[in-house]
Amino acid sequence: SFIAAPSGHGKTRFLLNVSLNVLQEYPTKEVYLFTFEQSADEVLLHALNTYIGEDLNRGRNNNGRTLLDYYKGKDFIAADVRSVFERKKEQFYKDIAPRFKIINVEYSADDLIEYIEYVRKRTADILVCIDYVQKLRTDRKGKIDGRYTELKFICEDLQAAALPSRTGLPFLIAAQFNRDVLSPLDMQITRIAEAS
């Protein structure tokens, strides 16, 4: 499945929310989130923030900055939410983080698929998230007459990898709309960047 949105409209946050819901609902499932733009540390911090779900500093209205400061040794967490924060942080690192594999990737779609197939041999209970498809490249040789064709091959390869005969795993893939998508009426599949 694809989730498509314009740049800066929360595709990564959507993947995080789905991942956290899966990890909370299914205690044996693992989520592999492959990220091309944000570091694994940033994504994990966003996941912790979402999991905590509390306003940590009444005056700042920025949980991300408050958490970042906390891990840098500057503690601005409000006293009235301190116990909730500590409890949820401990729960997150005990129950969620070990099953939430956030991986920075620089390798090709072919290597990514090979890695997913390898992981699938170890465990069958996995959700695969990719953030995002337009960052993938292929090692495929032969006639690739442009980026459109390359992304078409990548999407076909990802679809084939998800089939029951290969991995049988659910894939949730973020995609970015072209820059000319300015309203909900413009959101059409033909306007996904590079027509992936």
Give the CB-side neighbour count of residue 18, counting CA atoms within 13 A.
23
- How much is the pLDDT for 137? 82
pLDDT digits (tens, 9 = 90+) for 19-61: 999 999 999 999 999 998 888 988 998 898 889 887 777 666 6
The pTM of the full predicted model, rounded to 2 decimals, is 0.84
Q: What is the mean pLDDT of residues 159-163?
A: 93
- How much is the pLDDT for 179? 63
pLDDT digits (tens, 9 = 90+) for 87-125: 999 999 999 999 999 999 888 889 999 999 999 998 888
- Intra-chain end-to-end CA distance of the chain, in Å: 12
pLDDT above 90 for 170: yes
Q: How many helices (H) does the chain have, and how many strands (E)?
A: 6, 5
Residue 102: which residues within 8 A CB-CB, separation 6 or more? Answer: 33, 35, 40, 43, 44, 47
- How much is the pLDDT for 58? 65
Percent of the chain with pLDDT over 90: 36
